[in-house]
Amino acid sequence: MSDTGTTESSTSSIIELNVNGLLSVYRNSLHSSCNGQKFKISGHYIDSKRGKGGYYYDKLKDTDSQEFITLFLTEKQKRILTNGEYYDFIGRIEITKTIWNSSLNILFVPDTFKKSKEEIQLIPESKYNLIRERYDRGLVNVEALFFEQLYRKEQPKLLFLTGATSIIVNDFYNQLEDKDYYDIEIRRINLSSKTPYFELLDTLEYEKYCAIAIVRGGGSGLEIFNEEDLCKKFLETNIPIITAIGHQEDQTLLEKVADIGYATPSAFGTALQKLVDKDRAIKNGQDNLKHVIVKNKELHKDEIQQKMKVFKAEKEILSQRITQLTKILIGCIVFMILSFLIIYFLK
């Protein structure tokens, strides 16, 4: 029996994937050879507090890649789940398409689920508790935050931390063509020592920034980002944390507790550029709509003016006709009066 109280499905026809693998299957298409299959997906449950009519749209977050999918839950299922816990879900996929921007929405509809000890076994309990505490506090939707500011024609202010001699800034900017849409302050520090981080975070004016990004390439020296006291220090800032550390196979504790993580600096730059493209597309659509509205108003204005001219001409003709008829009527009345007088006096 699962935590939902239902009998778990036979595992013979179940495809086991992580969140990132499932997204790869359906990322660019409504159709897949896996359509109709049952999936077993594992990850951290995140309570998004989004619901309507007894159904809820929460998240299942991949531990390594920071990717997530949307869980479509009943009220009964949601009551059983604990925010931040690691679960195994078995269920099916539903794909929808957003009309206005043609994006694909992937919903995972679980039939059964149960708590998994696998994630606890992978990392020490203290680090697991740190991740759990982070999820309990809630994650900031950093991309939504940036997009909202872009839409208001503001520049998101970002503190970009990278190595003293790092060249990955070029990789980042190669993907971010419209960098002027952002106010990016690059700070170069020694990424291999904790001291520069602590000194910086102790003196930083947090209110100036929307988020802090820690960006570096892969390779050796990533173990510093697994230091618990450093991760706690970042979390104590109460400012959204972004990571773009290493290559896809390099995963650290800091990435696990960050609000959002990108596999590489290039992926980070690509994500920011997509937000600019999305903002531009929406505003272009709005401008086109305004143009159509203005054009229609001008056409209607010309049509109304033309009809007014016709109305005035017809009014003038009618006025002249009324004048003519009035003269004829007066003439008839005068003739009748004169005729009456002539007949009266002749008698």
pLDDT along the chain (347 residues), means of 10: 41 71 66 68 85 84 77 88 88 68 72 69 68 78 91 94 89 93 94 90 91 86 88 90 75 85 90 92 76 69 77 83 88 86 78
pLDDT for res 301: 72
CATH number at residue 76: 2.40.50.140
CB atoms within 10 A of CB 342: 10
pLDDT for res 133: 77
Domain count, the chain: 2
171 and 89 in one domain?
A: no
> How are strands ordered across the β-sheet holding 260-262?
183-189, 157-163, 211-216, 241-245, 260-262
pLDDT for res 64: 67
Q: Looking at the chain, how many residues does it have?
A: 347
Instruction: Mark which of 94, 119, 144 sits at the end of a domain.
Output: 119
Task: State pTM to two decimals.
Answer: 0.57
246 and 111 in one domain?
A: no
Q: Which domain holds residue 20?
A: 1-119
Is residue 321 a part of any domain in this protein?
no
152 and 97 in one domain?
A: no
pLDDT for res 36: 64
DSSP 193: -
pLDDT for res 249: 58
* Three-state DSSP string of 34-45: CCCCEEEEEEEE
187 and 109 in one domain?
A: no
pLDDT for res 10: 41
